[in-house]
Amino acid sequence: MKLIERAFPVEYLNPVAMAEGNAKKPVYQIHKWWARRLGSVFRMITLCVFSGDEEREEDVWRKFCDGVDLGGKIVLDPFMGGGTTIVEALRLGCKVIGVDINPVAWFVTKKEIEPVDLAELDEAFLHLERTVGQIIKQYYRTRCPQGHDAEVMYFFWVKVADCEGCGARVLLFPNYELSRRDSVNVSFCPYCWQIVETPTYDPQTRCGECGTVFDPRKGVSGRGFFHCPACGQRQRLLDAVARKGARLDLELHGLEGYCETCGRFFKRVDAEDRARWERAKKEFEQRRDELLIPYQAIPLKGRSDPRPVNHGYTHFWQMFNERQLLCLSLLLEAILELPEPNIRELMLIAFSDCLDANNMFCKYEIAWHKISLFFGLHAYHPIERPAENNVWGTEFGRGTFVKCFEKVRRAKQYCQNPYERLLNIRGKRFSKYTGEERIEGYLVNCAEEMFSTDRAALLCCQTAEDLSCLPTKSVDAVITDPPYFDNVQYSELSDFFYVWLRLALKDAYPWFEPELSYRPDEIVKNDKLGKTAEFFSEGLKRVFQECYRVLKDEGLLVFTFHHNKVWAWESIAQVLWEAGFYISATPIIRSEGKSGFHSSKGNIRYDAIFVCRKQPSEWNERNWPLLKERVLTDAVTWTRRTLDSGMAVNPVDVFTILAAKTLEYFTKAGKPVSEDGSVVSLSTALAEMEQLLDTVVQMAEGQQVEIGSPYRQGCRQLSLALAESRTRFGE
């Protein structure tokens, strides 16, 4: 029995996972990917999967900290996504097989693991800086308030709508603030746009130029509505879009710049700034036919998120303004002229990543003094007051090509000498390098090459429902993070990057030839495409059946899972069982840090690690009441271990633990029976455990609840743990 089936060092790992959730390793910052799992968690999973039968948690933790070579074990990830399994397994000396149907995921993972000469990478960047960099910088020049030549960091724009009632032109400012910094509030006058500084927030701020008194935090738009300052009529933003029949116009009103003499500054745009913008627009129109711009229409069929189409955007290029399109095209052309393919592709990944902050869906974060990223949320989210970034970049700023190149360089430097962020006895973070480990994958084209190549990486851009490229019983372990039904619509989101990457890669890789990244056999739940939960489950079952075939008899299938709906847990268990697996263990681990997208109060913050073996199970107990006691006992144990690791738990987290343990013991037993000998269905078992959760929550809230033996003790212990969590962590 492997360590991961006996124990899992959460007391060591949870604080590290928490820290990494708030600051991911450099290799995972190379490019945006959605719902990335934590490298530290998958490093530990891989170590525990290949642990010796006698190894203890302390032994594996030592390997985690000091490094180890697993000697060429073969690991398959059929849903590699952003490449976490591939990166961590390669780092531990494994050979890897990564499969993903999404071309962007394939390309990101490829560039994460391919080695590079950093000196050559630096020389290529310097070449771009000397050439196209100087050209792009000219589009972002200005003068500081003292008259010095300066660089623009961000241009500030606002959308414009026509009032339905009086026809007035309404500037859709949600507020008039620019910065809250160092006891100085910076805002701009809503009438003349002059910059106004006050020591603190003042709801009666007076403009020094025109004398207007205004509240910087009270604009005219918000939550999908706006009111007309002229007639006062309140109306829906989408109605204004519908009346116009297109996306709303934009007005340039201000900028933040950087002056080598004066530092950072805000200013109202002047005639010179507007003239520079008009010249950029004119040049764009003159050169439009020769520029590298994605002209694909935003797909409507099966769209899960009506945005941005219902805001009047019909094509991907419309998400950028003319200056951005011109500069991005110039940069892409220069990158494609680089002679060495690996260097060229690494520059391309930096280019693609900078798209996240160089579009007209980004806003300026007034409290943090930087631009937000487009995909800070898993959605297309149009805003009323976008900020235009400097495509090339200045000394300060976020998301520019310079900053994205620096991220790529840090990632590749990390790959040559990876480290772990750990905590000392005082809880302070430090980084520890892990011996001779490195992240280097040598790409091969087939399984035969993989068997004979050290640190081989076979990356396939295809569905994992057909793994005929792999021999039967050739894989030591399957470690993955499958899609969670309809949680993330990967192709819908990744199209934003795909349409640009396709311009550079369509002649090199056949999976970049189609106009969009969507593939009919993408395994996802999307009712608008006719992809029901049954479609998702059947596709996932075919993948797991292929995993069963290629996995060695003693090998483990391990994946992380959480969901807040009972039906999803029932579906995943049914899929596993029909594919020939049972769940031998379900450790619980922290999945994301405080700032994680899924980590706000009330959301699930823990993953169940499903450790699966090929059927049949050697478990003999089938009596459901006794199994139910085991579920409660294990749930108490893992809740206590989570608390002891310094993590909070709430009822949603306890639900995850209870559901995971129910699936584990249910599939171990095969067909549990009640006291009268009748077979218990999984839906019945999960419903009973959900009822126990309600009881636990009521008890934790101090309510008097009647519950029969033998479950009273388990429910009371869980309720005490919940109450303790609220006391310790204020939840």
Q: Do the Cβ atoms of 353 and 26 come closer than 8 Å?
A: no
User: pLDDT, tens digit, for every residue of 167-205?
Assistant: 999 999 999 999 997 789 999 999 999 999 999 999 999
User: pLDDT, tens digit, for every residue of 52-65?
Assistant: 888 999 999 999 99
What residue ranges define each of the domains in the chain, with the CATH number in brackets?
A: 3-113+412-615 (3.40.50.150), 119-174+219-399 (no CATH), 621-731 (no CATH)
Q: Is the confidence at residue 560, as pLDDT, over 60?
A: yes
> Measured between alpha carbons, how far is 364 from 386 in angstroms, rounded to an integer?
7
> Measured between alpha carbons, how far is 512 from 345 in angstroms, rounded to an integer?
14
The pLDDT value recorded for residue 601 is 43
Strands (E), 440-550: 442-443, 456-461, 475-480
> Measured between alpha carbons, how far is 350 from 121 in angstroms, rounded to an integer?
12
> Measured between alpha carbons, how far is 280 from 329 in angstroms, rounded to an integer?
13
Q: Label the pairing between strands 95-100 and 456-461.
A: parallel
Question: Is residue 274 exposed (0-12), middle (13-18) or buried (19+ Cβ within 10 Å)?
Answer: exposed
Average pLDDT, the chain: 93
Q: Is the confidence at residue 425, as pLDDT, over 80?
A: no
Give the single-character DSSP code of 413: H
Cis upstream peptide for 203 (omega within 30°): no
Confidence class for position 21, pLDDT limits 50, 70, 90 = confident
The token pair at 702 is 């101090």
Name 480's bridge partners: 559
Q: Do the Cβ atoms of 143 and 272 come closer than 8 Å?
A: yes
What number is the average pLDDT over the span 703-711?
Answer: 79
Q: Is the confidence at residue 434, as pLDDT, over 70?
A: yes
User: pLDDT, tens digit, for every residue of 498-515?
Assistant: 999 999 999 999 999 999
The stretches of 296-453 forming alpha helices (DSSP H) are 322-336, 341-354, 401-416, 447-451
Q: Is the confidence at residue 599, as pLDDT, over 50?
A: no
pTM (predicted TM-score): 0.94
What number is the average pLDDT over the span 412-437?
Answer: 86
Give the single-character DSSP code of 531: B
218: phi then psi, degrees, rounded to nearest 5: -120, 100
Edge-first strand order for the sheet with 195-198 is 177-181, 184-188, 195-198
User: pLDDT, tens digit, for every residue of 388-413?
Assistant: 999 999 999 999 999 999 999 999 99
Q: Is the confidence at residue 686, as pLDDT, over 50?
A: yes
Q: Do the Cβ atoms of 90 and 439 come closer than 8 Å?
A: yes
Give the single-character DSSP code of 315: B
The token pair at 54 is 């006698």
Q: Label the pairing between strands 364-365 and 370-371.
A: antiparallel
What number is the average pLDDT over the span 21-49?
Answer: 93
Residues 6+ apart with CB under 8 A from 699: 705, 715, 716, 719
Q: Is the confidence at residue 423, as pLDDT, over 90?
A: no
Q: Which of 579, 490, 478, 474 is nearest to 101 (CA)?
A: 490
Q: How far is CA 28 from CA 36, 83, 405, 681, 700, in A?
A: 8, 8, 14, 41, 39
User: pLDDT, tens digit, for every residue of 337-385?
Assistant: 999 999 999 999 999 999 999 999 999 999 999 999 999 888 899 999 9
Q: Is the confidence at residue 270, as pLDDT, over 50?
A: yes
User: pLDDT, tens digit, for every residue of 77-127?
Assistant: 999 999 999 999 999 999 999 999 999 999 999 999 999 999 999 999 999
Q: Do the Cβ atoms of 663 and 583 come closer than 8 Å?
A: yes
621: phi then psi, degrees, rounded to nearest 5: -75, 125
User: pLDDT, tens digit, for every residue of 148-164?
Assistant: 999 999 999 999 999 99
The pLDDT value recorded for residue 282 is 98
What number is the average pLDDT over the span 252-275?
Answer: 97
